[in-house]
Amino acid sequence: MVAPPRPIRQTNVALLVLLSGAFVTGWLAFGLESSPESRAVGITHGILGLGILVLAPWKSVIVRRGMRRRRRHALAIAFSLVVMVTLLSGLVHATLGPVEVAGVSVLAVHVASAVAAVPLALLHVVRRRQRLRATDVSRRTALRALAVGGASALVYGAVESVSTGAGLPGARRRATGSYEVGSRVPAAMPVTQWFTDGVPRVDVTAYELLVGRADASRLRVPYRDLLAMAGTTRPAVLDCTGGWWAGQTWRGVPLDALLGTPEHGSIVVRSVTGYTRLFPAEDASALLLATHVGGAPLSPGHGAPVRLVAPGRRGFWWVKWVEEVSVDPRSWWSQPPFPLQ
Ligand code: HEM
Ligand code: HEM
Ligand SMILES: Nc1nc2c(c(=O)[nH]1)N[C@H]1C(S)=C(S)[C@@H](COP(=O)(O)O)O[C@H]1N2
Ligand SMILES: [Mo]
């Protein structure tokens, strides 16, 4: 087979780098709480994603050539559409705000289409291998890559300037890309589950928290005893990967009051629905098992009778309807980075 000309190879390889980079930084942005690092990750993500748009004029030449030369295009066209949906939904979220399309957040559309793009990208690339040659690695190539990076950064800057200049909601998003919804008004804060969980009804009169200490002792603490211990008040921001955040004042029991500060392993927090997260043992005093938000008991949607408040962590760590807190021999990093439930 004759190798395609160099500009074609280089454009396609650049697209591969941009796509993979955007995919990885997207998940990183999903995991990080607001910080200078998360801002840098978010900006890098935007620049990589917009780089695909920058290369579109060059890619369109390749597409026309491919359409002439090849016979079956259905997958390549599906791939193009999915990438366009990913780009458009990312841009809409970053500029117009937490828009919903038929009850689904535009950010959820963004992530879903990015995930759907993976198998299509693999099929596309495997059938159209681009083998780099020695002549592809040159000063000229490096300069071209720099030019693409610079142009992408300019496009990113332009989007941000237009956002700010036109007073679009995007100018008010947090470093994580999330928008403020319902701060200090718990009833106005969205009720969200990570993936497949649903809101259970927990009978408070029969409820007992299972506490497993480092010395292997286990106790059951009824709700009224937790209420009696719930004297610690903390402000904390809940930032959901669905694209919204809210600051509330939470009241409850710090985990070290129940568990001490374990010296080894981790702390497992599990809900009545089985939703589970492991935390570093040294976080015991920072984690709060909340009974109240904004001065009132938690609603069922927000985690009644007790839910975890994990300051400095994204929403998916804030386990609702907690049934058990225990010291665990596993290390916290042995779990998948995101819940699977
Ligand atoms: C290859 C796939 C992807 C592409 C091409 C892409 C592209 C983009 C683009 C162009 C933006 C708008 C950037 C801006 O103007 O500020 C964006 C925003 C965003 N993307 Fe992606 N993305 C991809 C995958 C993902 C994945 C897998 C996730 C999460 C799991 C993700 C999460 C986000 C978030 C949270 C934002 C909002 C960031 C902000 O507002 O600053 N993306 N993406
Ligand atoms: C944003 C990502 C991409 C999109 C939307 C896209 C889309 C397309 C489309 C619609 C075609 C023409 C139809 C066809 O060949 O069946 C095409 C051709 C082609 N694509 Fe992509 N592509 C992307 C990335 C890549 C990557 C990462 C590679 C390889 C590393 C690649 C390699 C090729 C090659 C070699 C052709 C030309 C085939 C020929 O001339 O026979 N593409 N692409
Ligand atoms: N048991 C359980 N807890 C959970 C979840 C879940 O699906 N199951 N979702 C988490 C996610 S992704 C977020 S953003 C917050 C949302 O809390 P809220 O519904 O009180 O706003 O709960 C977290 N706690
Ligand atoms: Mo979330």
In a domain, 1, yes or no: no
* pLDDT at residue 71 greater than cutoff 90: no
Q: Which range is least confidently modeled, 25-29, 122-126, 136-140, 200-204?
A: 136-140
CA dist 276 and 268 (Å) reads 7
Q: What is the mean pLDDT of residues 91-95?
A: 98
Confidence of residue 130 (pLDDT cuts 50, 70, 90): confident
Predicted confidence band at 1 (pLDDT cuts at 50, 70, 90)?
very low
Same domain assignment for residues 185 and 91? no
C-alpha 31 to ligand 1 mean position (Å): 13
Question: How many percent of the chain have pLDDT more than 70?
Answer: 99
User: Which ligand number lies closest to the CA of residue 107?
Assistant: 1
One domain, residues 326 and 248:
yes
Q: What angle, 0 to 180 degrees and rounded to 10, lies between the N-to-C axes of helices 106-127 and 6-31? A: 140
Number of independent structural domains in the chain: 2
d(CA 51, CA 156): 9
- Do 64 and 83 fall into the same domain? yes
Is there a single domain that holds both residue 166 and residue 231?
Answer: no
Same domain? 29 vs 155: yes
Domain of 156?
A: 6-177
What span, in angstroms and rounded, lies between the C-alpha atoms of 130 and 27? 26
- Does 187 fall in a domain? yes
Q: Are residues 189 and 293 in the same domain?
A: yes
Q: Which element (helix H / strand E) includes 237? A: strand 232-240
**Domain match, 61 and 138 both:** yes
When pLDDT is averaged across residues 2-26 and rounded to a whole number, the result is: 90
Last residue of a domain, one of 143, 177, 211: 177
Q: How far is the CA of 198 from the centre of ligand 4 (A)?
A: 13
153-181 per-position pLDDT tens digit: 999 999 999 999 999 999 999 999 999 99
How far, in Å, is the centroid of ligand 2 from the Cα of 94?
27
Q: Which of 121, 155, 177 is the last residue of a domain?
A: 177
Give ion ligand 4 contacts, CB < 5 A.
Answer: 192, 240-241, 315
Out of 2-11, 100-109, 212-221, pick the least confident: 2-11
Query: For atom 10 of ligand 1, which residue has the closest CA?
Result: 49
**94 and 235 assigned to the same domain:** no
SS3 211: strand
pLDDT digits (tens, 9 = 90+) for 222-279: 999 999 999 999 999 999 999 999 999 999 999 999 999 899 999 999 999 999 999 9
* Residue 340, domain member (yes or no): no
Query: Which residue, 151, 177, 203, sits at the end of a domain?
Result: 177
Whether 179 contacts 245, CB under 8 Å: yes
Same domain assignment for residues 83 and 56:
yes
Residues 148 and 296 in one domain: no
